[in-house]
Structure 1
Amino acid sequence: MTPALEVRDLRVQIGSAEIVGGVSWAVEPGQTLGIVGESGSGKSMSVLAAAGLIGPPTARVSGQVLLADDDGGGGPRDLLTLSPEALRRVRGRGIGFVFQDPATSLNPVLTVERQLTEGLEEHLGMTRRAASSRAVELLELVGIPDPTRRLRSYPHELSGGMRQRVMIAIALACDPQVLIADEATTALDVTIQAQILDAVRGLQERLGTATVWISHDLAVVGGLADEVAVMYGGQILEQADVLTLYRERAHPYTEGLFAARPRLGSRDDVLATIPGSPPDPRHLPPGCVFYDRCTVRHDERCASERPELRPLTPGHLVRSFYASSRQEQS
């Protein structure tokens, strides 16, 4: 199947720092790719660059970002080669984006209704009345009570969780080919979080929407994603289908992330942590980017030579010289 969105050797450089260093992944229609990693690992920067939301003069972006032709009349379009006007047409209809901070993403001087209907009128050609009716349906979809009244609200009149739900509704409004969600449910309680995840799954089943889900929450990613990419230092350190990664993870960094999860039934007072901090992108180590924090590093080769992302087993990629899959101990 042709991917809905494919990223090839994506690199993002800001000044002398390479924030994203040669990332490649693909997500097919109806599938979900989860991207996990600590803050500063390059997750958000990679998808912002892929969607054309960061570029010159702020950053230098290279590689390919191929979005499938939604009309079926031609091959995929490389978003990095499109003009600003062509990119504007792609956003909304081709790609819906849920940003991490709704307080800074929503326009404070426009009502919720106007922010929801603008894309419907622009991209789908709806009348103002039809767009308003669709806006009510979208607010109901994301679990906002009394949606007709809330359409007249301004962002400052809503709670943080409700603002986040409005952002998700805007991203879903035009039934995009690809939905990119950056920590989309972090500010929501678990009940609303479950409703949002169900809405995303329903959209995927109904329209074949591909989803890229960025999260720190391994439980959310495990319940939603088909494939997971683990990022650190601007690189993918491990990538596999969700069951393989959760049961047979092979990279020490991935193992560290899983060890830090709270576990039901555990009485430990202190969660496990990964010692140290993520590397400064201006001063990445010459070898493995995880070398300084790795607890199982082997020899000088790890310190001086950068490993490539290679297949450990079919479909299971690991960036390590000495990786071997380990079965999860329950």
Structure 2
Amino acid sequence: MNAPGFAVQDLTVVLGRGTRAARVVRGVSWSVEAGQTLGVVGESGSGKSMTVLASAGLLPPPATVTGSALLGGRDLLKLSRRELEGIRGRRLGFVFQDPMTSLNPLLTVERQITEGIEEHLGATRRAARDRARELLETVGIADPDRRLDAYPHQLSGGMRQRVMIAIALSCEPDVLVADEPTTALDVTTQAQILDLVRERQERMGLAVVWISHDLAVVGGLADDVVVMYGGQVVEQAPVETLHGAPAHPYTRGLLGARPVLGKRRDRLTAIPGTPPDPRALPPGCVFFDRCPVKGDPRCGTEVPDLLEVGRRHYTRTFCPEDQ
């Protein structure tokens, strides 16, 4: 077995201080190996994006981050800002949800790709442009020379996302973090982006962390899936196990809320209520107020541990048997 490409251990993130402090990530641990894909799913506010941002040192003060984030045996949380700048973009590539807010509207596509190549790989301006042209061809952008001289607003949404992937892969990182990268794209473009990531992963041996609210996308891409709710991991399993035998009521609710091709439903199942306020978390199971089971007297008063219920299958509930 390969060493983990990227691993977070007991990661906790607190935003703010005093009575307004919000515990947005609480003791999260997961790992992904080289050549593998980890899907991280959950509703908005579950802590999935915050976990990877914190692990890469991308949260500004007054965020307090504890635990560890290991990349190649180095704990990113113990590195200086300068050391992190040498790792982000070089060994750790990012693709974010909205390329229009991630790309600089004042810089050409060429400059946004070549900047990291020159900084991290020491390439000349001409060599960096050649590399940028090659990357645009790789991600499926036609007429790359013309697109290199374009600005982000002159490209379609799908093309902008491909540029973001080109930037993320430009220095051949060990780990690619993709945070909701296909949410705003049409189905056809989304499928093309997924195929592109799979192809580059196979060629480069990338470890991929794919953050999404879409279980269908994750189901076709990931090897293992982490389900987050209320800042915690509530379930973790191989993708086939998670889809075939979900153990946590929240996971079952997410799966029940998705449309299934070929299966007719008059109405999709909804999870009632809203996620908890991280500044006022419940005393027991974090899903208690929305849970349809509530099958154990401890549910409202004790926080369940993350326990193994099958091979590489873990869940945080007192009622895993209630299917």
Q: TM class, shorter-chain normalised? A: over 0.9
From the superposition, tell whether residues 37 and 222 of structure 1 become closer, same or farther in structure 2 (CA, over 3 Å): same
Determine which of 187, 202, 227 is the counterpart of 1:190.
Answer: 187
Task: Specify the code of the residue in structure 1 equivalent to 2:9.
Answer: R
CA contact (8 A) 2:296 2:319 kept: no
Deviations along 1:283-315, one digit per CA (max 9) or x if unpaired, are: 110100000000011243100100011101131
Determine which of 273, 276, 287 is the counterpart of 1:276.
Answer: 273
Paired residue secondary structure (2:88)? helix
Match in the other structure for 1:50: 55
Distance 2:7 2:158 in 1: 31
Determine which of 92, 101, 104 is the counterpart of 1:104.
Answer: 101
CA contact (8 A) 1:312 1:324 kept: no
Q: Does 1:87 align with 2:84?
A: yes
State the aligned residue count. 318
From the superposition, tell whether residues 325 and 178 of structure 1 become closer, same or farther in structure 2 (CA, over 3 Å): farther
Task: Specify the code of the residue in structure 1 equivalent to 2:55.
Answer: A
Paired residue secondary structure (1:281)? coil
Question: TM-score normalized by structure 1?
Answer: 0.93
Match in the other structure for 2:8: 7
The runs of 5 or more residues in structure 1 that have no matched partner are 69-75
Q: Does 1:63 align with 2:67?
A: yes
Determine which of 112, 117, 140 is the counterpart of 2:137.
Answer: 140
Determine which of 313, 317, 320 is the counterpart of 1:320.
Answer: 317
Match in the other structure for 1:40: 45
Shift of 1:156: 1.8
Question: TM-score normalized by structure 2?
Answer: 0.95
CA contact (8 A) 1:143 1:195 kept: no
Determine which of 252, 256, 261 is the counterpart of 1:259.
Answer: 256
Percent sequence identity is 67
Task: Specify the code of the residue in structure 1 equivalent to 2:291.
Answer: C
Deviations along 1:232-261, one digit per CA (max 9) or x if unpaired, are: 000010000111111111100000000011
Deviations along 1:167-198, one digit per CA (max 9) or x if unpaired, are: 11111111110000001122223333233222
Distance 1:107 1:208 in 2: 29
RMSD: 1.4
Shift of 1:23: 0.2
Consecutive aligned runs of 4 or more in structure 1 exceeding 4 Å deviation: none
Task: Specify the code of the residue in structure 2 equivalent to 1:174.
Answer: C
